[in-house]
Amino acid sequence: MLPLTEPWYRRLLVVALILGVGGGLIALAYSGVTTFGIDLFFGEPTTELWSWNWWWIPLVSGGALLVALLRGLWTVPEEVPGAIEFARRGWVDPSTAINLVLISVVSLFVGASLGPSFGIVVSGGAMGAWIVSRQQTTDTETKAKYALTGMAGGLGGVFAAPLFATVLATELSQTPKKDYVTAFIPQFVAATVGYVIFFGVTGSAMLAAFNIAGYEYEPLHLVYGALLGLFSVITLLIHAVIGIAGSKLAGMMKNHYVRAAVGGALVGLIAFALPLTATGGSRQLAYETANVATLGAGLLAVVLIGKMIAIAMSQAAGFLGGTVFPILFIGGTAGILVHLMVPDIPVTLAVAAMIAGVPGAIISAPVSFILIGVGGVGLGVAAIAPIGITVITAQLVVGGLKLFKQSRNSM
């Protein structure tokens, strides 16, 4: 039963409206500035190799140097939690949030291969944290509810998908099961208000953003779902290996300005060579899904590896940004590649399932990614079952691999 008799909860419901408005406006401003930079410098996606601007290399490298300068000026630590970690903690320190958000804006503006979720989670969470701090409450769970409601308000705007944003915030948080509905309702209110503001101004939505027509469910797709779960894990392992290698390479450069310049230059070079790897990836994935018939397996394989390297180098260079959109790009691109290798698997199912399966394999938010897989590709309710099997299979395989590694280490 909802604690409507409690003053703190009635207050939270009212504040949820404020956080929704704030989240929607923040999403508009953040997205407007970063999209302006991306449009200004990078334009529309293309499959033409080595076909765009060589000056992307010094642009991104110079942007990384600026970020390194700002991080030093504002004493931002070497290790900054990601958006998912902030959501798990259920708290953002308002005193540091503005600096982190500004660095994130600069990062995306100059072409880091990262997405907007970090800046939105930090700004929305800090807004909720600031409001609850004025109430002088010491209850940790109450404070987390305010911060998570702020995060949901911003995510509902930038993803233009209020249900996804709310489920993601609640799945990632450490909210006890008995308080799930209590926390869900104000977060959904904030996410919906944020969505109404963002969508009302931009007309942009995540639902059906990667639409591929022609899907019809068949029982065999349940088997394909399990197979796509295995492909999701393979994709994830390759991404992890590249990320570890990138981190070790960055560690060899002790001077953080050198590391920023070199890492940024590599991100710019990859974007110059493979334009589909540029920026966060949502626009590029929409391009791919609209032009599936023109894409070759060789090109997609190279783009996938290039994108993984670009993400690793963006993080090594010190850029701040989210990984949700880039991983959705990796999953969707890998899905098209799987379809080209195994044509019997419908491309629509492959893309939707791997959009859900690649992040869903390691991020403890399976329902959220099933929703974004089904909704983002514009599938019907029948597709939930095979896509759910993809996510479950991927999680089981990753869990099994971790268990196997622990068993070997204990021998």
DSSP 115-157: BSHHHHHHHHHHHHHHHHHTTT---HHHHHHHHHHHHHHHHHH
What pLDDT is recorded for position 390?
A: 97
Q: Name which CATH class applies to 220-409.
A: mainly alpha
What pLDDT is recorded for position 186?
A: 96
What pLDDT is recorded for position 403?
A: 59
pLDDT tens digits for range 298-311? 999 999 999 999 99
What pLDDT is recorded for position 404?
A: 55
What pLDDT is recorded for position 179?
A: 82
What pLDDT is recorded for position 48?
A: 85
CATH topology of domain 7-202: Clc chloride channel (1.10.3080)
Which residues of the chain are under the pLDDT cut of 50? Answer: none
What pLDDT is recorded for position 309?
A: 97
What pLDDT is recorded for position 406?
A: 64
**Helical H runs in 134-278?**
140-158, 162-172, 180-202, 220-251, 256-273
What pLDDT is recorded for position 167?
A: 92
Distances (CA, A) of 159 to 198, 199, 317, 372, 396: 9, 9, 26, 10, 28
What pLDDT is recorded for position 316?
A: 94
> How far, in Å, CA of 247 to CA of 269, rounded?
18
What pLDDT is recorded for position 207?
A: 61
What pLDDT is recorded for position 251?
A: 84
> How far, in Å, CA of 353 to CA of 321, rounded?
24
What pLDDT is recorded for position 70?
A: 97
The encoded tokens of residue 387 equal 């896509």
What pLDDT is recorded for position 405?
A: 64
The residues near 181 (Cβ < 8 Å, ≥ 6 apart) are 2
User: What residue segments make up the domains of the chain, in order of their start?
Assistant: 7-202, 220-409
What pLDDT is recorded for position 202?
A: 87
- Can 7-202 and 220-409 be said to share one CATH topology? yes
